[in-house]
Structure 1
Amino acid sequence: MTSLTELREMSDEQLEATCKEAAETLFRLRFQSQSERLNTPSEMRKNRRLIARIKTLQTQREQAVSAS
């Protein structure tokens, strides 16, 4: 799990790659949850929250650039 401080230290490209990877993982977990039982159901929540954190940081960075 990536902490918020680690996410803040990442570049925009790294954030985008991490978000894409989390989205792909979430997609696979959704399919797996429908077809069979998940070993760790909390992984879906962790990935959703990670995506939300990344998107929030991206929005904050965009607002900081437009405010300058």
Structure 2
Amino acid sequence: MAKPLNEAMADLKVRQAAVANDEENFGHVFEPVFEEKTLNHFENVADLGRRYFGPQSNFPARSTAAPPGD
């Protein structure tokens, strides 16, 4: 969760809200930005997982037939 948090803290709108608001009002700005960054992070990780563990067209399909001689 460090990456989405760091990205949210680097957001200009969040940084300006941190200076100009109290903690409660800052949350109104921070939470939607953090939520967006978190969702993007999870989507990227899920996409990477699908690419890594999903079917790969450049590999031949595994045969379930018994080896010759069995």
TM-score interval, normalised by the smaller of the two chains: 0.3 to 0.5
Higher helix share: 1
Bigger relative CO (Cα 8 Å, ≥ 6 apart) = 1
